[in-house]
Amino acid sequence: MSDVFQDAVARLRNLGEEAGIRPEVVEALVQPKATLAASLPVRMDDGGTRYFPAFRCRYNDVLGPTKGGIRFHPGVSAAEVKALALWMTIKNACVDLPYGGGKGGVIVDPKKLSRMELERLSRAYMRAMADFVGPDTDIPAPDVYTNARIMGWMADEYEAIVRHKAPAVITGKPVGLGGSKGRGEATGRGAFHIVEKYADHRGLDRASTTVALQGFGNAGYHIARLMQQAGYRIVAVSDSKGGIYKKDGFDVDSLYKVKQESRVLKGVYCEGSVCELVEHDTITNAELLELDVDLLVPAALEDAITEENAGDIKAKAIVEVANGPTTLAAEGILAERDIDVLPDVLVNAGGVTVSYFEWVQNRQGYPWTLETVRARLKSQMEDAFDAVATARAEDTSTWRAAAYAVALRRIETGIEMSGTRDYFNSED
Ligand code: NAD
């Protein structure tokens, strides 16, 4: 049976072949370098102990230490963590960061934990992984349902284990604990820079460009806010409880404010839903994906666009803010229908880029201003778009194929420098 990791490897093989990457380089990427699975014992508030399955995968480190987030979600699996770690390998290479790819996760519904249980779980994760991660080996960060506070607990636990300060072991920390300014908005802001470059590339008029956004979380909120400021019309927004639609477009900040005010805190999570909020028509998540809009922005989880709904998508382009929202089978259908898919490995790389900046600041002991972070993020994302657009102009089958070509060529160069069969067999 196909799983998300097999899908990721199949895509790697196809796109590696299309880009003319040496087979031995692709072979180096079909398995992770190392994966650690652990069971995390956590003392619950009622005095009992529960055990949570946890994973960390260091996928490939040819270009540098592995880097990628930690996800707390009931749907986490070993296969998902490996797939996400492979995508991080491609993403970091695509935007030219000196990193390999990694990822982690815990099978847990964190909304069902108290704050104290969540802290104990986060610290237990770091205790289990402390020999596997490190500022020069593997540097975790936040992902779905993990946040700055959780990164702060994990950094503190690591420092207690190694008995010295080591803020560069993890990124996405609170600013007061060595986090970078601008990290919270980085994924959405980076994605916004990619959309702007694409809009220029296509000659889109912002004011007449309509947008549907799936997932009004951290990444979704910031890209929506910046796009609205730039003149795009955000006509539909959803979260896990459902979606809302307004033909003339929403004011994203009012939406966010109402969502924040109406939230009920449980643990450290927001329970408010966009559906309870402002004047709107209610739509389902499935309807949102099939709206007749210019840009569809999936910013929730994997597998939003599958072979079941790809034929009904009416958007002209899809901007993958989430990781892996389009399945392999769906992508073929979209390509045939001439719908551009701007791929996750390019679009959402702003988060890891500012994580990289945080790591650099921690190692330098020299915090940057918000203006410096934003300016460097913009230039890193724009350079990445240009590199991918250049590859796309070589007539790759899709934008994803172009992004993989850029990434795989960089990894190929790294592997070639360490020696290949051709090198060792050549006479020169
Ligand atoms: P988040 O937890 O802040 O937000 C996720 C949002 O998706 C929430 O609003 C949730 O209600 C919504 N959601 C969940 N299931 C849904 C469904 N079926 N339909 C509609 N909405 C649904 O998470 P985030 O950090 O914004 O991450 C979102 C995506 O972006 C993930 O795929 C993540 O891997 C990716 N990403 C995030 C970052 C980052 O720095 N935050 C970086 C790179 C990639």
**From CA 250, how far away is CA 255, in angstroms rounded?**
7
Q: Check residue 263 and give its pLDDT.
A: 56
Q: Check residue 268 and give its pLDDT.
A: 35
Atom 30 in ligand 1: which residue has the minimum CA distance? 322
Cβ within 8 Å of residue 329, ≥6 positions away = 306, 307, 310
Cβ within 8 Å of residue 3, ≥6 positions away = 77, 79
Cβ within 8 Å of residue 5, ≥6 positions away = 79, 80, 82, 83, 86
**From CA 123, how far away is CA 421, in angstroms rounded?**
44
Question: 409-428 pLDDT, tens per residue?
Answer: 999 999 988 877 777 787 66
Q: Which helix (H) or strand (E) holds 109?
A: none
Q: Check residue 119 and give its pLDDT.
A: 98
**From CA 179, how far away is CA 173, in angstroms rounded?**
4
Q: Check residue 273 and give its pLDDT.
A: 56
Point out which residues pair with 305 in neighbouring strands. Answer: 326
Ligand 1: residue of 143, 170, 266, 273 to mutate (most ligand atoms within 8 A of CB) is: 143
Question: Could you give the domains of the chain?
Answer: 36-168 (3.40.50.10860), 186-347 (3.40.50.720)
Q: Check residue 331 and give its pLDDT.
A: 93
User: For the chain, which residues score pLDDT lower than 70?
Assistant: 1-2, 262-280, 427-428
**From CA 101, how far away is CA 57, in angstroms rounded?**
9
DSSP state of 426: -
Could you tell me which of 393, 355, 404 has the C-alpha nearest to residue 98? 355
Could you tell me which of 131, 182, 130 has the C-alpha nearest to residue 156? 130
Pocket of ligand 1 (CB under 6 A): 143-145, 187, 214-220, 238-240, 285, 299-301, 321-323, 348, 351
* Selected catalytic residue, list 67, 91, 103, 173: 103
Residue type, 228: Q
Question: 142-151 pLDDT, tens per residue?
Answer: 998 999 999 9
SS3 of residue 107 by DSSP = strand
